[in-house]
């Protein structure tokens, strides 16, 4: 009978102190991750984004660039994340309803650790940028359903979320 090893947090050493995981012995492989999130807004904001009449500028273009920049800087904001050279970061938006906008952030690298945090950071910052640019018109905007949708590569293999809303 095979004994299961107890689950351990990899970012904590034997003394219970935080550490950055040593990935130097890990195999290099293609790593891809997709994150998702939504922002709910009032009709005035939604129409302003669609018609590009928000005074701060072209909201979706600014949010797209902000998401890409954030994904590239994830290691600067999450203390134990590794510095990764992303080979791809794509941020896409889709209107699910008249007042509900979704974002998908896809990140990719060839490396020794995954890009899930980079995808999640990109999606979150894209949504926060939309909030920032439109908050004067709707302080009740709500960011929801941010999650990892899918990841592939590495020892843990392919993951597809069973809790995620269906792809558009």
Active site residues: 132
3 marked ligand binding residue: no
1 marked ligand binding residue: no
**Distances, alpha carbon 113 to alpha carbons 15, 38, 91, 159, 167, in Å:** 24, 27, 21, 15, 25
- d(CA 55, CA 93) in angstroms, rounded, equals 20
Asked whether 91 and 70 are in contact (CB, 8 A), the reply is no
- d(CA 60, CA 28) in angstroms, rounded, equals 34
80 marked ligand binding residue: yes
Region of 57 please: left (phi>0), alpha (psi -120 to 50) or beta. Answer: left
Q: Which of 75, 89, 68, 88 is nearest to 23 (CA)?
A: 75
118 marked ligand binding residue: yes
Asked whether 66 and 132 are in contact (CB, 8 A), the reply is no
Region of 67 please: left (phi>0), alpha (psi -120 to 50) or beta. Answer: alpha
Binding residues for substrate: 80-82, 117-118
Binding residues: 80-82, 117-118
């Amino acid at each position: 009978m095979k004994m299961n090893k107890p689950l351990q947090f990899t970012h904590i050493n034997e003394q219970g102190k935080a550490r950055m995981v040593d990935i130097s012995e890990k195999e290099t492989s293609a790593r891809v991750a997709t994150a998702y999130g939504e922002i709910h807004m009032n009709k005035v904001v939604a129409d302003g984004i669609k018609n590009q009449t928000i005074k701060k500028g072209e909201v979706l273009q600014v949010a797209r660039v902000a998401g890409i920049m954030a994904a590239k800087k994830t290691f600067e904001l999450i203390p134990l994340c590794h510095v990764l050279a992303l080979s791809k970061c794509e941020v896409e938006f889709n209107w699910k309803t008249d007042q509900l906008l979704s974002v998908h952030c896809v990140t990719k690298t060839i490396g020794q650790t995954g890009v899930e945090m980079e995808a999640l950071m990109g999606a979150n910052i894209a949504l926060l940028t939309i909030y920032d640019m439109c908050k004067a018109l709707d302080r009740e905007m709500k960011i929801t359903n941010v999650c990892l949708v899918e990841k592939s590569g590495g020892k843990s293999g392919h993951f597809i979320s069973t809790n995620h809303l269906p792809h558009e």
